[in-house]
Structure 1
Amino acid sequence: MAQSEVTRTEVLQALAEYDRLGRDAFLDRYGFQRARTYLLVHEGRSYDSKAVLGAAHGFLPGRRPLRARDLSGGADHAVRVLRALGFEVVRASFGEEELMALVTRLKVSHHPVDGPSRYQPLTLLWAIGRAVNDGQRLLPWTSTDERLKPLLAAHGRPHQRNRPEYPLAALHRAKLWDMADVEGPVPPAHGDAELKAWFTRQRPTSGLVAPVHDLVRRSGLARLRAVDHLLATYFGDLDHAPLLADVGLDGDRMADDLDPAPGPDAPAGPAVPVMPTGPVIPVIPIYEEAPAAPRDPLVLAANYERLCRLVEGGEAERHGRRTDRTTSRPVRSASARRAVLERSEGRCENPGCPGQPVDVTDRGTAILEIDHVDPLADGGRDHPAGMIALCPNCHAVKTRGRTRHRLAERLLAVARERHTALLNRDA
């Protein structure tokens, strides 16, 4: 294909011209529209990927620039060419709905007895867990093979081979998996000896595509939605706790928003402080102010409703019937906890709170604890309507104080009132 003749040198020349002319003039000169799907990122700036590749072709000796209609293979091929040349190409916009569209369109094989294959969902859960825990997106083939094989053996279908080659090739075709340091196209996810030989020969460094990795690390809500869909679709009524523990998605962090993963040039740790000379001056602790509450009530209400839907195990329409059935599965519990924290807007929900700590956690969030005021042991639900966010002082009074029973009744009423009011805020 003509654009495959382009080298990194010609692309850099096109980028320089783009910077000189500006975006609109560059696109007008080469006959391209603004990119809607992919952007080339270089030295902190974004460029229209197809337009850059088309212009770069014109810098080849004796060649002319390529117009949009001349680019064979479409946008996906342009992305592969640019990435093969060492450039970073990302989606122009990527959010929860784009993620869910990719996840819900997975094509998996179906066994007549066992049902749908679990290779791809297991690999996705494992990669999401890595995004949360260590932020590492790409792994060498040897590490991927060593880590995925036992996971596939432990949680895959009995009659399926615990071979990582199949899910990686399938997820690459589904636009969810990057294959770096490879030559030529990635083979389809079928066959046996040929597929195994390709991975043995190419030994790809691979992982989630950058937009998916960044989103599932950063957004707890996006992560919960993706994980919940994978578990409900491919793992039915099984106990999800062991699987989530094995992929590193157990515990409260599964629902937390996290900072973007550090880049490869980030320092390994804090710099060693320079000790001052002279007399020692006592250090007085300085407490940071609690984070500001969200200001957009409609965004808060929308996020709260989506989390409640995850808790209730359904995707009912906003004004449809709400089910009272909940489960104690990890995703539901994490969603309920996250929903209550969203609802609290960083403030203790006890109306009589004498004052919560003004300090914040290491991640800059308010110091709050989630309590089931409608106790699970007494048949209460693992649901935001029966849970409340309390500062440590109010939580201690509610748990051990002499007035705890009277306070619990008041807090349960508050939780139900705030739950109902928030769901109806945008009605």
Structure 2
Amino acid sequence: MASDVMGLLALGEVAQTMDRRAVMRLIGALKPAQRSKGEAPHRPFLMLWAIGEAVRGMPRKQHWSVVRDAVGPLLVRHGGVTSSREAALFPFWALRNDGLWEVEDAESLTMTSGGRRPLLSSLDEVNPLAGLPKGVYELVVADPELAAWAVGSLLLRFFRPVPGGLLRDVGLADLMAGRETTALRPLVGETFTDRRTIADSYGGNRVRGITPLADGILTVYSDEKGPYADGRIPEVNWIAYTGDGLSGHQELIGGNKAMAEYQRERRALRYWHRPYGGQWTFETWAVIVQRWMRWGEGEDGLRRKEFVWVLAPVPSPLEHTWPASVMAALNEDTGQVHDRTEGVVLAAGVDSGTARLDSYERYKRLARAAHERAKSRTRRSTLTTVERFLRSAPAREAVILRSGGLCENPTCLGHPTERTEADAPLLEVDHVQDLARGGPDVPEAMIALCPNCHALKTRGKNRRELQKVLLAEARLRHKSFSR
């Protein structure tokens, strides 16, 4: 992030001609100091106070004594520090390195022996003027929506929860009134033709699947065309999101490391989705309620271990707006990885000597793994439904294998041989008896259907008669493959 700030400075964007995105890039690059007891959000406190002063029409630059007497008590009241005068010194000097603060007559200040910051006595004596850069200040004053966006980003990233009375004390209560859930940009539902236009409007990387936008808030992208096997989880409509890394075993680095931090801190992220042939849409805010490890296939065609992050959609990034089912899942989550790779690798067709198995032996191993995992599933909850879906990987893989890539409905009149753009079978593995009604996660109770037949089985007028036919067909095929 420091390089981003230096890049902005080198390009001269911290100037009178600065635009909204440049301001948000600076805000998004801001990081709190790391102390032994955790983060020290001194600089975010100073930024909130400075934005509040600008919004209220106060001068752009104010003397050290004014900043000290205003920000010091704020840090004591809301930041847990003990000495207000010394607490104000650190952000007053350090924020300069973030391209968001200027100090006049800095060269006349006497520095500490290490040269890291000025002596408090020297600041008191010189009493220099300091404040937001001119370009930042003028944009914040002229654009209340930008000011609210900047404040919303700072609050969401550094204050969880927001201390009571903080907005009032920094002069931002009126600005943020009614903007709790709408201050941040983009808004849910915004669409773009491609990743380039998203980055042009809101910053962020144009290629990575897990990356922050300019305001520093993490964003994940899911493209129905691939290359990852993301998707909505039936019945609960939560999202199974594949981790970062196209080939080889995925590791807890890069985007996956950022996801783990968001899971630990229970922070909301943005979820973007593009249906096949459609546009990118900011579909929802979401929080991570579980992390799984499963076997998948990399871009190189080889089996690899991959993360699956379970995302629960929420109406806003503010925790008090999250549904009870999401809160229950978060409270139940231990943060540990649910590792389902051991045992599934054998079922997937590779034995301990890495020899390939024929389809019938693979099917039998998958079926055995599915039955083992179905034994202890009796508790009903949203999270249990998610777990059942993800744990049923062997059963689902067995059914796809058994189908040979064709719809298993014996009366199919749709498009049984249709393929996806990636040349995969256009099939949906379905529980003949719904999971919510106690349907087991075993191959003999599941069937592969084309989208037409799946719709008939789920919503058709004669669905109950069709379900009987499908259950009989699934059992017959299972029996045949199990011999």
The normalised TM-score by structure 1 is 0.39
Would you tell me which structure has more strand in proportion to its own residues? 2
* Larger-Rg structure: 2
TM-score (norm 2): 0.35
